[in-house]
Structure 1
Amino acid sequence: MVMETLFGDAFEHPASKPSGPARHRVLITVKAAPNPSQTHGETVCVAGVLLGPYGATGWIRLYPINFRHLPAATEAFKKYDIVTVDCQPAGEARLESWKPNMSTLRVETHLPPWRRRQELLEPIIDDSMCRIRNAASADARARSLALVRPTEILGFRLEPHPGWSKGEQSKIDAYVNQLELDVFEEAQDKTPLEPPRYRGFYKRRCADPQCTTHEQSIIDWEFVALQRHLWNRSDADATAAIRKRFYDEICASGNDVAFYVGNQAKRPQTFSILGVYYPKKAT
């Protein structure tokens, strides 16, 4: 699927994965919550849109990144920064996935809400989660990142997080044990990654005539960070505060909401919500 951006750049899914390194210019749009990793302790997926001379040209996933142990030369960056970074193609089926060399990352500028962000992102918004999911189910190389605007947001749900699985916990334990044994890692933060308190889900309907609704889990860094901030609050207070922020405020009727979604390498048909795009509706 090829889209035309506001200024004429072609926005399309790549036909194949490049074989060599490249320096990419990226508008950072999402930062996922950290996941356990045996090699890195914890890893974070950062995603955004590739930028050409006149607009967005495609999606990109930067992974793995360990924010606790970034190279000293890495510049601090946040969502909606435009950055440049050297990358290597990742060894997996998803064509948007690249391994970044974080010591080469440089921040060009930050785009404040919302006009400049909208100029780049509105032309590439999709309206069918069904189409994206069906394509990924049929072909692991199909588009694995998207920004999808629903026709209707049907609900927001929280449930207690069950804790790390045995496999996830073993990865954390192995990494911490490795740091303890390495005499050169004295300065490293050895605190094990804790699971969040809750899992969250948005339910919505897309524009596909056959849509039976979508309920997808939220893995946004900000969703987990808010939970950490509320660690000493009761369940009733904490869930009320999370619902207020992620449903009442972000999904308010005056906002033109769309969801950043991404799938899993091992289960390409399974998409999660990486973040929310919520400019005000035009009046």
Structure 2
Amino acid sequence: MALVPEGSLEHVEDEAFIIVKAAPRASQTYGETVCIAAIDHNGCWVRLYPVSFRDLSDAQQFGRWDRITYRWRKPTAAADRRVESRRVDQGSIVITGKMRDSDRHAFLNRAAVTSLKAEREKDRSLAVLRCEILEFWPERQSAEEMERQRAVYDGMRQQSDFFSQANLIPREACPFVFKYRYRDDDGVHVGTCQDWETEATFLRRRGEMHSEQAALDWMVQRFGVEFPRDGMALAMGTHRYRADQWLINGVLRMKPTNQMTML
């Protein structure tokens, strides 16, 4: 991975595979420019921002697992001290390929960790967490939060977005948040899943099943039973202003290494 000398603001070139984007929460600012979590060819996490999808050309509309090249510089320490953060020159973004389905599980397994405390001790703020999923459940959002979410999506309605081709962007505010209780090497934790894909999956299933309760039951079975049984990991990231608070940025399908060798 290309490195920037300490204190340098010069742009350097790098490449990475896009992994996940967290859903914006009641913020017009992050509705316009958002952070992207990606993994470089060395298996190291990088955080790419600010990316304005309204200003990306059609040829730059990247998706999950796309390989991109881009130029970046370190953000100022006052703006973001997290070592993975890359301030991107978004005009430099070029899609150069896509990771094959058959390579994705091994790629994630190489990056996976089992202790977020150990990652923080190494001054890291992004991780693929291999953990035991204990419970998955929905919680209904308050009317106030729903109104804030509607304002965010209304502001983004005219934007193109890199997950839109797969219908992964919610067309409306999701009335539920989805939570995991999970165990890693440090103990048991509870976190809210932040990515658009989970919320959009519920909204799509609710429409297909014509029943909110049936869709919720399906989500619990799929995300809380089938995914953990078949192999999954959590994409984790720390809060910008609370370095020891880890957030669930996304759900990743990841077959264990010993399972992969049997295929």
Structure 2 counterpart of 1:110, from 90, 98, 114: 98
Assess if the C-alpha contact under 8 Å between 2:105 and 2:255 holds in 1: no
Distance (Å, rounded) in 2 between the aligned partners of 1:265 and 1:203: 22
Assess if the C-alpha contact under 8 Å between 1:74 and 1:104 holds in 2: no
**Ranges in structure 2 where 5+ consecutive residues have no aligned partner:** 160-170
Q: Please tell me the residue identity of whatever aligns with 1:92.
A: D
Give the 4+ runs in structure 1 shifted more than 6 A: none
User: Per-residue displacement from partner, 1:30-60 (whole Å, max 9, x unpaired)?
Assistant: 1222344344644432111122xxx33x211
User: Per-residue displacement from partner, 1:136-162 (whole Å, max 9, x unpaired)?
Assistant: 9xxxxx211011111x22111210123
Label 1:236 to 1:118 Cα distance change in 2 as closer, same or farther (>3 A): closer
1:247 paired to 2:199: no
Q: CA deviation at 1:223?
A: 0.7
Distance (Å, rounded) in 2 between the aligned partners of 1:46 and 1:165: 24
- 1:217-232 paired onto structure 2 within 5 Å: 217-230=192-205, 232=207
Which position in structure 2 is the counterpart of 1:100?
Answer: 88
**TM-score, normalized by length of structure 1?**
0.71
User: Per-residue displacement from partner, 1:74-101 (whole Å, max 9, x unpaired)?
Assistant: 5222111111112232331212122323
Distance (Å, rounded) in 1 between the aligned partners of 2:52 and 2:82: 20
Aligned-pair identity (%): 27
1:196 paired to 2:160: no
Label 1:166 to 1:124 Cα distance change in 2 as closer, same or farther (>3 A): closer
Distance (Å, rounded) in 2 between the aligned partners of 1:247 and 1:270: 23
The count of residues paired between Structure 1 and Structure 2 equals 242
Assess if the C-alpha contact under 8 Å between 1:230 and 1:238 holds in 2: yes
Assess if the C-alpha contact under 8 Å between 2:146 and 2:175 holds in 1: no
Distance (Å, rounded) in 1 between the aligned partners of 2:106 and 2:36: 21
- 1:96-245 paired onto structure 2 within 5 Å: 96-114=84-102, 116-132=103-119, 135=121, 142-150=123-131, 152-162=132-142, 172=152, 195-208=173-186, 211=187, 213-230=188-205, 232=207, 233-245=210-222
Q: CA deviation at 1:236?
A: 0.6
Structure 1 counterpart of 2:12, from 22, 32, 47: 22
Distance (Å, rounded) in 1 between the aligned partners of 2:144 and 2:5: 36
CA RMSD of aligned residues (A): 3.5
Q: Please tell me the residue identity of whatever aligns with 2:177.
A: R
Assess if the C-alpha contact under 8 Å between 2:133 and 2:224 holds in 1: no
Which position in structure 2 is the counterpart of 1:139?
Answer: none
User: Per-residue displacement from partner, 1:220-261 (whole Å, max 9, x unpaired)?
Assistant: 221122133245443312212322332233222x32x32110
Label 1:166 to 1:221 Cα distance change in 2 as closer, same or farther (>3 A): closer
Distance (Å, rounded) in 1 between the aligned partners of 2:194 and 2:236: 10
Label 1:170 to 1:269 Cα distance change in 2 as closer, same or farther (>3 A): farther
1:72 paired to 2:53: no
**TM-score, normalized by length of structure 2?**
0.76
